[in-house]
Structure 1
Amino acid sequence: MALLRNKIVQILLNQQSTLGSCKYATASSTNLREVLTNLIPEKQEEVKKFRAEHGKTVVGSVTVDSIYGGMRGIKGLVTETSVLDANEGIRFRGYSIPECQKLLPKGNGGTGEEPLPEGLFWLLLTGQMPTQEQADAVSREWNKRAAIPNHVIQMLNNFPSNLHPMSQFSAAITALNTESKFAKAYSEGVKKTKYWEYTYEDSMDLIAKLPTVAAIIYRNLYREGSPVGAIDMKKDWSWNFATMLGYENADFVELMRLYLTIHSDHEGGNVSAHATHLVGSALSDPYLSFAAGMNGLAGPLHGLANQEVLVWLTKVREQVGDNITEQQMKDFVWNTLKAGQVVPGYGHAVLRKTDPRFTCQREFALKKLPNDPMFKLVSSLYKVVPDILLEQGKVQNPWPNVDAHSGVLLQYYGMKEMNYYTVLFGVSRALGVLASLVWDRALGLPLERPKSYDTPHLIKLAHAVKK
C-alpha cells in the first residue's frame, strides 16, 4: 500500500506546490501516543479495504537474476514511513529532504537553522507535519525517558578499549531489553490489538536512551572515560547528544540536527531496516529487533561506508595535496580506476541522481566551512568523478551518495574518530526503523517465510516457466 500511495503522493507533488498542499498536524494534542491512538484505527480500516479490493493485484515480477542478486528491486515489503525513488531520492511520508528542511520545526524554539529529528519522528509516525509545540513536546518526552539502568552503564564501562564502538552499541541495546514494556506485556498475555502500544512505548524509551549510550561509548574510548553529564531538560535531543559528546559549538549542534534527520530512514529494504523488520516479525521486542538492525548497519557495505570514504579521502589528500588542479584531479581519478580500484562514496543501488542527502550536507558546508581543505577536495571530486564514471561506462549511477560528505563535516568540528561515525548513523536510524516497527505491529505485518529454492530446484522451475 505504501508503495502505491507514495507513488500517488509523488505525482501530486509534481503537479502542485508542496508548500501549498502541506498536511500539517490537525490535532491540537502534543501527546504523540494520543494522536496515534486516534489515527491507527482509521489506517487499519484503510488497509483492510485496500486489501479486500486489491489483495490479488500483481505489483512486480521476479527473475532468476533478482533471486541470485539478493532480491534487489523485488517489491516485497510494506514500509509506511518512507520510499526511495530512483529519480526523486528519499521521501519521508511523501516529503523530500529539502521540503523537510523547510517545513519541519526547528531547534531553539523554532529559531534554529536545521530541522528537529523529533519533528521528523512525528511525521514518520503520523504522516502529518507537526507544529513547533508538538515537536518540542517530543523533546521533553525523550528527556524524561533518557535514564540508563546501572547494569548497562557498568557493562559499557567494563568493555575493553579494542571492542569496536558498534559492537558496544549493539550489546548495550540488547542489554537494555530489561526495560522492555512489550516483552513484559506479551508475557502477561496482552491482546494483539495492544501490541503497537507497547511497541510505541519501547520505541520512545529506546530512542530517548540512545544518545546517552552512544556518548558513554565515545567518552570511554576517546575522552579517557570522562562523564557524559546529565540530560538538560531545556535542550532538544540533538543538542543534549552533542553536549554529552563534549561538543558545545552551536554549528555542530545544527549539524547533529541535520545529520540525525537525514540518516533516519531509507525505505524498508536496506540491511538495517530489513533486519529490524525481520526480527520484529518474530515479536522480539524493539530492543532486540533494533540491535539486529545495528549489527547489519556495522557492515562495510552499509553504515561503515562513511568511514571508508573518509579514509580514502585522507589518503587522496596526502598524495595530491591541497592545491591540485582540475586536470590533475582527473588524472588521479583515472589512474585510480585503471588500477582496478573504486571511488568510494559514488554510486547507489537505487538512486539515479545525486543523493539529496549529499546535496543538503554540501549546502551546509558551503555556509559553514567553505574554505576547509577536505571540503574543497570533496568539491573537486564532485566536479570530475561523475563525468569520468559516465565515460568509463561501467556504473549506472555516477553520482555521489550520502557517505561522500558526512565524515568530512564531522571531522571539521573535531570528531576525528572515524570508526565512531557509524554509531551516529545508528542513533539516527532508530527514528525510521522504530517508527516503522510501530506500524508493523499496528497493521499486523509479520514477515511470513518467503518461498526459497536451492539451485537444482530453481533450474527446474526456470525451465518449466520458459516452456
Structure 2
Amino acid sequence: MLPASLRPGDRVARSRCDIRVLSPERVASYRGRVSCEQVVRLEYSRGEHRMPLVEATQGASGISLGTLRADTGMVTLDPGFVNTAGCTSEITYIDGDTGVLRYRGYPIEVLAQRSTFLETSYLLIYGDLPTSGQLENFTDLIRIHTLLHEDLKRFFDGFPRDAHPMPVLSSAVSALSTFYQDSLNPFDHDQVEISTARLLAKLPTIAAYAYKKSIGQPFLYPDNSLSLVHNFLRMTFGLPAEPYAVDPVVADALDLLFILHADHEQNCSTSTVRMVGSAHANLFASISAAINALFGPLHGGANQSVLEMLESIHTDGGDVDAFVRKVKSHTGGARLMGFGHRVYRNYDPRAKIVKQTADEILHKLGVNDPLLDIALALEARALADDYFVERKLYPNVDFYTGLIYRAMGFPTKMFTVLFALGRLPGWIAHWREMISDPETKIGRPCQVYTGYAEREYTAITQR
C-alpha cells in the first residue's frame, strides 16, 4: 500500500529494488480511479517495471501490481496482507491513526446516536440512508422471513447438547442453501435480494435456537409483531409456558452494539466472505464461511478473553496495579486483553461509545458488577502509563462489550454469536459489492516457495 503522502520523485528503497513515483504519465484505467499523473516504477537487478497508482478518496492509495509477475517473474510477499489491498471498496472507511470509522461516509458516532440497526443495515447494503418508505418495506420484508423451515428445526437435533453455538450457527446457515435452492444464483438480482432478506431475518432465529439447544429449553417461534432485536431477545430468553416482556433498555443497548459491530472493512471474516464469494459461491455459503472465520479466538473471541481477564483480577483480590506490573514484566502469564488493535493506533471510536453504554445499562438494570469497577480502574491505569501509551495500546470495542452482554443475561459462549448477528449486514454488503465488481477475479494468492527443489524418490526398503 502506498502512503497517500508520497509525491512524484519520492523514493522508497527496498533491498536491491528501488520504488519511485514518476511524474505525469498516462496509464491504463483501473475502474476509472487510476491517477493519470502518477505511476510507480520498480527498479530491480534485471530492469524496471511500471505500475499505475490507484487513488483513494481517503486514506492510503494503492499500487496496482497488474502484470508484475508476468513481466518480472516476481511476486509480493506480505504475510497477513498487512500492506496488501485485495479490492477497492466504497463501504467503510477507517483512519486508525486518528480513530475514525465511517459507514458509507457517516461517522459511527452519528449512527450510534441517531440510527437503528436495521437502518444502518440498509445503509451498508444499499449505499444510502433509506427514506421512511424504503425502511418500512425493508423491515416488512425481513419480518415475513423470520420463520425457519420445520425440517431445518430438526437439524438442531443432530448436535450434542453442549455444542458451542457458533459451529451450530455456521452449519445451519450453510444448510439454508439446501432449503432455498430458488435463490442461489449470485448474478440474479431478485434472488440476491430475497437471500439478503432471508439471512437478515433468519440468523437471529437460528442464533436463538442454537442457544436454546445448548441449555435444553424448547424453541420459541418468532413473533413478527416485534422488532428484529426484540424478537431475538424474546426467542432467546422467553419460555412457551409463560409471557416474556422484553426490557427496552436491553433491546436499545443491543441494537446499539449491533450498529457498532456492523462492519469494519477488510477484516478476517469479511475477507473470507470475499474470497469464498469470488468463486461465485452463493450468499448462504459465503456467510457460513465468515461465521467460521469469526469463531477463531484471534478474531471473534476477544470480548470473552477480556471478561476472563477481569474475573481473574477480581479473584486475585482486585489489585489492578499488581496486574499491570505483571503485564509489563511479562510474569505470571498476565496479558492485557481488550487493548490495542490491528488497525487503530488511537482510541477505538467504538470503545468510547461502549464505555458509556456499559455504565448506563448496568446502572439502569441495577447491576452492581465489580468487574466494571475493575475495568474502569484498569483503563485509567493503562492510559496513564507511558509503557502502554508509547505502544499505542488503547481500549478497543471488546474491552467493555463482554460486561454489557453479561449484564443482559448472555453466557460467554454467546458473545461471538452476537458479534456475528451485528456483523451480518457488513458481510452481505461486501459480498454484494464483490459480486457486482467487474474487476473481481477468483481469489488465488501466490506464494514464495521455500521447500526442497526436485528430489529423487527412494524405495521404502532403502530409507
TM-score where L is the length of structure 2: 0.76
Residue pair 1:169, 1:213 contacting (<8 A) in 2 also: yes
Structure-2 residue corresponding to 1:176? 176
Tell me the equivalent position of 1:82. Answer: 92
Question: Within 2, Cα distance between the matches of 1:301 and 1:123?
Answer: 28
**Aligned residue runs from structure 1 range 9-88, under 5 A:** 48-50=31-33, 56-58=52-54, 59-60=61-62, 67=77, 69-86=79-96, 87-88=98-99
2:80 alignment partner, SS class? coil
The residue aligned with 1:225 is 217
| Aligned-partner Cα distance in 2 for 1:124–1:214 | 22
Match of 1:216 among 209, 218, 224: 209
Q: Based on CA coordinates, which of the two structures has the bigger radius of gyration?
A: 2
1:337 to 308, 318, 328: 328
Determine whether 1:433 maps to 2:431: no
1:94 alignment partner in structure 2? 105
Matched residue type, 2:414: Y
Please tell me the residue identity of whatever aligns with 1:308.
Answer: S
Within 5 Å, give how 1:121-136 maps onto structure 2. Answer: 121-136=121-136
Mapped pair 1:243 → 2:234: yes
CA RMSD of the aligned region, Å?
Answer: 2.9
Moved more, 438-447 or 279-288: 438-447
1:255 to 253, 256, 260: 253
- Quote the offset at 1:361 in angstroms: 1.2
Q: Determine the C-alpha separation between the residues in 1 that align with 2:263 and 2:185.
A: 28
State the secondary structure of the residue aligned to 1:56.
strand
1:67 aligned counterpart, secondary structure: coil
Q: Is the partner of 1:90 in helix, strand or coil?
A: strand
Could you tell me the percent identity over the aligned residues? Answer: 26
Match runs of 1:340-355 below 5 Å: 340-355=333-348
CA distance change for structure 1 residues 178 and 452 in 2, over 3 Å: closer, same or farther? same
SS state of the match for residue 320, structure 1?
coil
Distance 1:144 1:298 in 2: 29
In structure 1, distance between residues paired with 2:442 and 2:189: 16
Q: Which runs of 5+ in 1 are unaligned?
A: 5-45, 105-115, 187-193, 322-327, 458-467
2:372 maps to which residue?
375
Does 2:418 correspond to 1:424? yes
Deviation at 1:52, TM superposition (A): 9.8
**Aligned-partner Cα distance in 2 for 1:196–1:448:** 23
Give the counterpart letter for 2:397 in structure 1. Answer: V
1:111-150 matched pairs, under 5 angstroms: 116-150=116-150
Deviation at 1:48, TM superposition (A): 4.5
Larger relative strand fraction = 2
Decide which of 246, 264, 267 is 2:265's aligned counterpart.
267
**TM-superposition CA deviations, 1:148-171 (whole Å, max 9, x none):** 122221111331013221111111
Q: Tell me the amino acid that sits aligned with residue 152 of structure 2.
A: V
Q: Tell me what 1:411 maps to.
A: 406
Aligned-partner residue type, residue 426 of structure 1:
A
Q: Which residue of 2 aligns with 1:162?
A: 162
Q: Which of 303, 308, 320 does residue 305 from structure 2 map onto? A: 308
What residue identity is the alignment partner of 2:100? G
For 2:378, the aligned partner's letter is: L
Query: What is the Cα deviation at residue 181 of structure 1?
Result: 5.3
CA contact (8 A) 1:196 1:442 kept: no
- Quote the offset at 1:47 in angstroms: 8.3
Code of the residue aligned with 1:373 in structure 2: it is P
- Residue 286 of structure 2 is aligned with which of 274, 279, 289? 289
For 1:399, the equivalent position in structure 2 comes to 394
**Structure 1 residue 424: Cα displacement:** 1.0
Q: 1:392 to 1:436 in 2, by over 3 A?
A: closer
Amino acid at match of 1:120: T
**8 Å Cα contact 2:277-2:286 kept in structure 1:** yes
Cα–Cα, structure 1 residues 47 and 242, in superposed 2: closer, same or farther, change >3 Å?
Answer: farther
- How many residues align? The count is 383
Q: Which secondary structure does the structure 2 equivalent of 1:369 belong to?
A: helix
Asked if structure 2 preserves the Cα contact closer than 8 Å seen for 1:182 and 1:199, the reply is: no
The change in CA–CA distance for 1:440 and 1:215 in structure 2 (over 3 A counts) is same
SS of the aligned residue for 1:380 comes to helix
Assess if the C-alpha contact under 8 Å between 1:309 and 1:344 holds in 2.
yes
* Shift, 1:90, TM fit: 2.3
Matched position secondary structure for 1:57: strand
Tell me by how many angstroms 1:448 deviates.
4.3
* CA–CA separation in structure 2 for the residues paired with 1:203 and 1:401: 30
Three-state SS of the structure 2 residue aligned to 1:225 is coil
Find the aligned partners of 1:75 and 1:162 in 2 and give their Cα distance. Answer: 40
How far did 1:318 drift?
A: 1.5
Amino acid aligned to 1:255? A
If the length of structure 1 is used for normalisation, what is the TM-score?
Answer: 0.75
Question: For residue 422 of structure 2, what is the amino acid of its counterpart?
Answer: S
Q: Is the 8 A contact 1:195 1:442 kept in 2?
A: no
Amino acid at match of 1:257: D
Residue number in structure 1 paired with 2:458: none
Q: Which runs of 5+ in 2 are unaligned?
A: 5-28, 38-50, 55-60, 66-73, 239-245, 453-463
Find the counterpart in structure 2 of residue 152 from structure 1: 152
How far apart are 1:197 and its partner, in Å? 4.1
Q: Distance in 1 between matches of 2:30 and 2:145?
A: 32
**Residue 79 of structure 2 aligns to which amino acid in structure 1?**
G
Post-superposition CA distance 1:21-57 (Å, at most 9, x none): xxxxxxxxxxxxxxxxxxxxxxxxx985446969932
| Cα distance in structure 2, aligned partners of 1:348 and 1:182 | 41
Q: Matched residues in 2 for 1:381 and 1:196: separation?
A: 50
SS in structure 1 opposite 2:123?
A: helix
One-letter amino acid matched to 2:232: F
2:357 alignment partner, SS class? helix
> 1:200–1:438: 8 Å Cα contact kept in structure 2?
no
Give distance in 2, aligned partners of 1:402 and 1:52: 36
In the TM superposition, what is the alpha-carbon distance from 1:278 to its structure 2 partner? 0.4
- Quickly say closer, same or farther: Cα 1:84–1:195, change in 2 above 3 A: farther
